């Protein structure tokens, strides 16, 4: 069944923004042949304070041998993103429309925010930021759970021209400190804590540690603004009404529901540093609910988002204003085929690029109504996602293959218990989706009537670059299919020769689209060497892909030392460097191993120091260390004893052999270049039973 072609359902296609493959091809050709005309037309729906200069819609250089790499879209144009997402929608008569339905960790906690109320809250918080000395060009770090104050904080930054730097609130204090330091963030915004399922996370404590570490490394964050989220929940527990002064609710003006069934957080303590720490609700009390937007040049920074780098040090991917806006808006509209009246839900955390572009910017640019969910798929029960789809009558649902696989484990009964008939489009992102998961998603969740959008993109690409369109593209399970508008993918062989027709190679792009990254913050050199030095004239994704006889693209995964654990991209180098810090470790080598639910997992080889025992205690300590230094999602699955590692005579570790050992495949290929071939057998013998 996996090699069958699945055509879009007639009902989905009939009403679609792009309703046939022929129409997709026409739009696509236009976007490649006349980008100025194509994107100029898109840009018309937005407000530009000053227009783009004649003939200056896009200029770029992708070829390092011809000078510095640069990408510029819409030179001369100025705008403000929050103005386009909020004021424009309110002016267009959507003020009372719900922007976000907020669904808390516990099903009894929910709330909503209209476009008008969102605008007001954003303006107020923008004024709070101004009162803390934040001005155009300053960087603001955000470490928050999935609560309404998160998009409010982001958009408040854009209101006044500050650059946001969101750090996923599952990262450790070390990772947060590193990102605060590199970006020189002036202010940090967080919450006291959050419930994830039955686990209580003390976010403020992590922030306190991170701020201390940043200070010890010479960077002092001036203010830390804290949302009293847990306090609010326990207030609703007793009073069943919204917090005073900081209602983030929409038209109904109250936080519905209670937190009565959540585990208790009464004994939760929040440390406080006077003159540095401020409660969000206190700061919001007396501020003006209007804030004039700061007009930003097209290429002014919008946000920095750190992503793992293969050398270990995270890369501060920088996105800018105009190009990102038009690309987020267009890809959201076409890839999810969003129409007024739809209710869209993307389960990604806003701390990742998927959340930036497809929870916040893309949906709001289209005046869409979305669900923002704080919790996990498994609390209070394993059918939570399906009950949310049912509750809000979700029409577009967007998640990761790892989630699909973990829900699939519980069988067909859970989705079948709920009314999922409103669904039209099912999105997938983060890693290749295996055909088994694709078919379950299609047949069971989508009842064979929904289009699956397997969207390939990266933090760096800003938005979808290879993806089907729901009403237009015949689907093949596991293929991300064809390029989105304005995107020119190529496959190259190791020598940089273009592979035409069927074949497999490095996935690259030959010209920019509006939403792609512009540089790595503070390190243009690294930007050029990471993405443009391998093949001159091309942006190199770091992924491999194949093209089949019908022209379909299949992304096969990373071709560098990166791996994807449950959709979290990380580098083996960053894990190795944490492991090597342990006093008992002489050397560590990390590879990825396929995992039935997570997609990939970490398999670590440890050479202990002489006299240091390799025992359970060491293994546990190493696992904890990785959790603490990077984040719980990075915990290794396997730690194997490796008295020696397979190295070439020049000392390079041959990871391809380690990958074979990790999966127990004795077919390791040529080992003649190894300094000591016997080590391979020894490592097979020491392989733990898994």
Minimum gap (Å) between residue 611 Cβ and ligand PRX: 40
Nearer to ligand PRX, 45 or 556 (CB): 556
Minimum gap (Å) between residue 6 Cβ and ligand PRX: 16
Cα separation, 279 vs 467, in Å, equals: 42
Question: Residue 609 has what DSSP assignment?
Answer: P
Q: Which residue is nearest to ligand PRX (CB)?
A: 459
Minimum gap (Å) between residue 238 Cβ and ligand PRX: 40
Nearer to ligand PRX, 307 or 571 (CB): 307
Minimum gap (Å) between residue 456 Cβ and ligand PRX: 4
DSSP string covering 27-54, please? Answer: HHHHHHH-HHHHHHHHHTTS--SBPPPT
Minimum gap (Å) between residue 474 Cβ and ligand PRX: 17
How many CB atoms are located within 10 Å of the residue 455 CB? 24
Nearer to ligand PRX, 221 or 305 (CB): 305
Question: Residue 484 has what DSSP assignment?
Answer: P
Cα separation, 445 vs 614, in Å, equals: 46
List contacts with ligand PRX (CB under 6 A).
Answer: 307, 353-354, 429-432, 454-459, 480, 541-543, 555, 557-558, 564, 569
Contact between 117 and 362 (Cβ < 8 Å): no
Cα separation, 600 vs 109, in Å, equals: 34
Nearer to ligand PRX, 327 or 605 (CB): 327
Cα separation, 151 vs 363, in Å, equals: 12
Cα separation, 232 vs 24, in Å, equals: 48
Minimum gap (Å) between residue 517 Cβ and ligand PRX: 10
Place of tokens 């790595």: 520
- Least Cα distance to 644 among 617, 607, 590 occurs for 607
Nearer to ligand PRX, 151 or 462 (CB): 462
Nearer to ligand PRX, 592 or 619 (CB): 592
Nearer to ligand PRX, 280 or 332 (CB): 332
Within 8 A by CB and 6+ apart from 637, the residues are: 593, 595, 601, 602, 603, 690
Minimum gap (Å) between residue 555 Cβ and ligand PRX: 4
Q: Where are the beta strands (DSSP E) in 596-642?
A: 599-608, 638-641
Contact between 648 and 661 (Cβ < 8 Å): no
Nearer to ligand PRX, 309 or 512 (CB): 309
Nearer to ligand PRX, 42 or 569 (CB): 569
Nearer to ligand PRX, 462 or 636 (CB): 462
Minimum gap (Å) between residue 516 Cβ and ligand PRX: 12
Cα separation, 559 vs 538, in Å, equals: 16
Degrees to nearest 5, angle at CA 245 with 240 and 246: 75
Cα separation, 170 vs 164, in Å, equals: 18
Cα separation, 470 vs 447, in Å, equals: 15
Nearer to ligand PRX, 115 or 334 (CB): 334
Minimum gap (Å) between residue 17 Cβ and ligand PRX: 21
Minimum gap (Å) between residue 634 Cβ and ligand PRX: 13
Nearer to ligand PRX, 422 or 458 (CB): 458
Contact between 157 and 191 (Cβ < 8 Å): no
Minimum gap (Å) between residue 479 Cβ and ligand PRX: 9
Nearer to ligand PRX, 455 or 530 (CB): 455
Task: Compute and round to an integer the Cα radius of gyration of the chain.
Answer: 25
Minimum gap (Å) between residue 302 Cβ and ligand PRX: 17
Minimum gap (Å) between residue 507 Cβ and ligand PRX: 9
How many CB atoms are located within 10 Å of the residue 292 CB? 11
Which tokens go with 459?
A: 């933090």
Which tokens go with 48?
A: 């530009």
- Least Cα distance to 207 among 130, 276, 291 occurs for 276
Nearer to ligand PRX, 78 or 459 (CB): 459
- Least Cα distance to 573 among 650, 623, 614, 634 occurs for 634
Dihedral (Cα; 522, 525, 529, 531), 10-degree rounding: 50
Minimum gap (Å) between residue 556 Cβ and ligand PRX: 8
Question: How are strands ordered across the β-sheet holding 98-103?
Answer: 110-114, 98-103, 369-373, 343-346, 396-399, 425-429, 451-455
Minimum gap (Å) between residue 515 Cβ and ligand PRX: 12
Between the alpha carbon of residue 449 and those of residues 13, 443, 470, the distances in Å are 11, 8, 11
Contact between 547 and 491 (Cβ < 8 Å): yes
Cα separation, 390 vs 220, in Å, equals: 47
Nearer to ligand PRX, 146 or 569 (CB): 569
């Amino acid at each position: 069944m996996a090699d069958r072609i699945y055509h879009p359902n007639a009902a989905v296609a009939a009403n679609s923004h792009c309703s046939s493959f022929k129409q997709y091809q026409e739009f696509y050709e236009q976007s490649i042949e006349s980008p100025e005309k194509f994107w100029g037309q898109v840009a018309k729906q937005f407000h530009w304070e000053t227009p783009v200069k004649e003939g200056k819609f896009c200029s770029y250089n992708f070829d390092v041998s011809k000078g510095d790499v640069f990408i510029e879209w819409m030179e001369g144009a100025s705008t403000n993103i929050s103005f386009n997402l909020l004021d424009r929608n309110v002016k267009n008569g959507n003020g009372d429309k719900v922007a976000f339905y907020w669904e808390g960790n516990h099903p009894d906690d929910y709330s909503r925010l209209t476009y008008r109320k969102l605008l007001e809250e954003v303006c107020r918080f923008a004024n709070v930021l101004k009162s803390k000395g934040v001005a155009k060009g300053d960087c603001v770090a955000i470490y928050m759970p999935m609560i309404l104050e998160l998009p409010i904080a982001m958009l408040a930054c854009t209101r006044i021209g500050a650059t946001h730097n969101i750090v996923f609130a599952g990262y450790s204090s070390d990772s947060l400190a590193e990102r605060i330091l590199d970006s020189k963030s002036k202010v940090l915004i967080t919450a006291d804590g959050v419930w994830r399922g039955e686990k209580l996370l003390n976010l403020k404590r992590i922030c306190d540690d991170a701020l201390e570490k940043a200070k010890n490394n010479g960077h002092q964050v001036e203010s830390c603004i804290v949302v009293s989220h847990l306090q609010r929940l326990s207030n609703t527990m007793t009073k069943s009404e919204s917090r005073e002064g900081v209602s983030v609710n929409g038209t109904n003006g109250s936080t519905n529901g209670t937190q009565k069934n959540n585990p208790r957080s009464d004994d939760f303590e929040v440390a406080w540093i006077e003159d540095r720490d401020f409660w969000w609700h206190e700061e919001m009390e007396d501020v003006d609910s209007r804030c004039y937007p700061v007009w930003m040049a097209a290429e002014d920074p919008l946000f920095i988002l750190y992503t793992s780098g293969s050398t270990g040090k995270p890369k501060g991917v920088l996105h800018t204003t105009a190009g990102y806006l038009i690309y987020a808006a267009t890809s959201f509209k076409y890839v999810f085929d969003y129409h007024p009246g739809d209710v869209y839900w993307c389960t990604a955390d806003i701390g990742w690029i998927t959340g930036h572009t497809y929870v916040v910017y893309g949906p709001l640019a289209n005046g869409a109504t979305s669900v923002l969910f704080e919790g996990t798929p498994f609390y209070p029960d394993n059918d939570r996602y399906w009950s949310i789809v049912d509750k809000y009558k979700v029409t577009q649902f967007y998640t990761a293959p790892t989630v699909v696989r973990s829900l699939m484990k519980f069988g067909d009964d859970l989705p079948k218990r709920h009314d999922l008939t409103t669904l039209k489009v099912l999105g997938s992102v983060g890693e290749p989706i295996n055909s088994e998961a694709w078919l379950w998603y299609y047949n069971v969740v989508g009842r064979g009537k929904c289009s699956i959008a397997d969207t390939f993109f990266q933090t760096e690409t800003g938005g979808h670059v290879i993806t089907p369109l729901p009403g237009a593209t015949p689907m093949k399970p596991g293929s991300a299919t064809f390029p989105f508008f304005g995107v020119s993918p190529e496959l190259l062989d190791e020598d940089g020769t273009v592979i035409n027709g069927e074949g497999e190679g490095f996935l690259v792009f030959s010209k920019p689209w509006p939403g792609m990254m512009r540089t790595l913050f503070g390190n243009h050199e690294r930007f050029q060497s990471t993405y443009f030095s391998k093949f001159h004239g091309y942006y190199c994704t770091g992924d491999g892909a194949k093209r089949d006889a019908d022209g379909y693209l299949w992304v096969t995964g990373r071709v560098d030392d990166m791996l994807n654990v449950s959709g979290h991209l990380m580098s083996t180098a960053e894990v190795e460097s944490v492991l090597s810090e342990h006093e008992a470790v002489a050397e560590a080598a990390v590879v990825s191993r396929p995992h039935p639910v997570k997609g990939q997992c970490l398999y670590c080889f440890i050479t202990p120091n002489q006299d240091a025992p390799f025992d359970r205690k060491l293994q546990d300590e190493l696992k904890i260390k990785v959790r603490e230094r990077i984040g719980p999602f990075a915990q290794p699955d396997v730690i194997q004893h490796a008295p020696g590692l397979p190295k070439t005579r020049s000392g390079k570790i041959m990871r391809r052999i380690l990958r074979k050992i990790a999966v127990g495949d004795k077919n390791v290929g040529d080992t003649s270049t190894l300094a000591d071939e016997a080590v391979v057998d020894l490592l097979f013998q020491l392989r733990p039973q898994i």
